[in-house]
């Protein structure tokens, strides 16, 4: 029996890193009395896997974890019990059973994520947004019309040049932020700040002195009923819930 939990991360909890959020949920499962299954062996651990890690500082309305249950539990009851033991800044919004078969399981199905990038008055506070300069709208169109968008991707071991354009499925400037729809998951993954930095460099701004706050809206799987390259996605909690 498997279940998928969707939660929000906001407020001061954005300063808690991915590994610590995992620890937080392990302890929360015990506090809430969720009948979660364990692995065998000398030091059994909970069967639990998280979708897409979220960077420190980023808030989100669409975080997911999958768990294995050893007994049935009523989903609304599970949501209620979990929220009773949460802290301010984490809210469970959905708990749904998912089919046991492989193709839904784990977080291998993650294919895209959507974000909102908010321009800030100052890096000191993520709560005070600033309006976009008028010229940015036109410049964004130009940015996206480029043949390719080559950036330096840094990992712990190496720096490589990569064309991120194919991974940007959508990028729109609205009044309250730049909305991004980006490739995500284990195959290819693009972080929103990398796109925004490339854009700022393109328009001649210093990325380090133009502060943004990033907010993840949701995480998506490929819509299996559509052809493989169609870029049609559905939120993780709609896959089977």
> Which spans of this chain sit near another protein (rule: CB under 8 A)?
11-13, 15-17, 20, 23-24, 26-31, 38, 42-46, 56-57, 85, 87-89, 122-126
**What's the closest the beta carbon of residue 101 comes to another protein, in angstroms?**
26
d(CA 123, CA 226): 41
Residue placing its CB nearer to another protein in the complex, 12 or 134: 12
Do the beta carbons of residue 117 and residue 214 sit within 8 Å? yes
Cβ 24 to another protein shortest distance, Å: 6
- When the beta carbons of 39 and 170 are compared against another protein, the nearer one is 39
In this complex, which beta carbon is closest to another protein, that of residue 143 or of residue 212? 212
Closest distance of CB 39 from another protein, Å: 9
- Judged by CB, which is closer to another protein: 33, or 99? 33
Q: What is the 8-class DSSP label of residue 238?
A: G
Distance CA 115, CA 132 (A): 17
Please give the structure tokens belonging to residue 30. Answer: 């015990």
As measured in angstroms, the least distance from the Cβ of 140 to another protein is: 25
Closest distance to another protein from the beta carbon of 114 (Å): 23
Measured in degrees and rounded to the nearest 5, phi and psi for residue 94 equal: -155, 145
3-state secondary structure 59-127: EEEEEEEEEEECCCCCHHHHHHHHHHCCCCCEEEEEEEEECCCHHHCCCCCEEEEEEEEEEECCCCCCC
Structure tokens at 95: 């708990």
Contact of 167 with 231, CB cutoff 8 Å = no
Is the Cβ of residue 25 or residue 143 nearer to another protein in the bound state?
25
Q: Which is nearer to another protein, 27 or 103 (CB)?
A: 27
CB of 80 vs another protein, minimal distance in Å: 17
Residue that the structure tokens 């490339």 belong to? 198
- 7 burial level (CB within 10 Å; 0-12, 13-18, 19+): buried
């Amino acid at each position: 029996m498997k279940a998928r939990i969707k939660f929000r991360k906001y407020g001061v909890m954005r300063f808690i890193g991915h590994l610590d959020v995992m620890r937080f949920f392990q302890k929360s499962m015990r506090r809430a009395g969720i009948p979660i299954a364990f692995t065998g062996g000398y030091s059994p651990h909970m069967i639990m896997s998280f979708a897409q890690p979220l960077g420190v500082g980023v808030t989100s309305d669409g975080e997911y974890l999958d768990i294995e249950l050893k007994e049935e539990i009523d989903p609304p009851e599970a949501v209620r019990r979990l929220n009773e033991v949460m802290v301010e800044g984490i809210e469970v919004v959905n708990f749904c059973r998912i089919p046991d078969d492989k193709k839904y399981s784990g977080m291998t199905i993650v294919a895209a994520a959507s974000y909102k990038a908010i321009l800030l008055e100052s890096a000191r506070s993520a709560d005070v947004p600033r309006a976009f300069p008028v010229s940015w709208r036109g410049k964004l169109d130009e940015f996206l019309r480029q043949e390719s968008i080559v950036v330096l991707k840094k990992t712990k071991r190496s720096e490589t040049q990569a064309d991120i354009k194919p991974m940007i499925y959508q990028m729109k400037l609205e009044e309250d932020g730049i909305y991004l729809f980006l490739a995500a998951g284990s195959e290819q993954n693009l972080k929103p700040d990398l796109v925004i930095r490339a854009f700022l460099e393109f328009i001649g701004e210093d990325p380090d002195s133009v502060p943004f706050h990033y907010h993840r809206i949701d995480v998506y799987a490929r819509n299996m009923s559509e052809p493989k390259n169609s870029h049609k996605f559905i939120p993780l909690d709609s896959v089977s819930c």
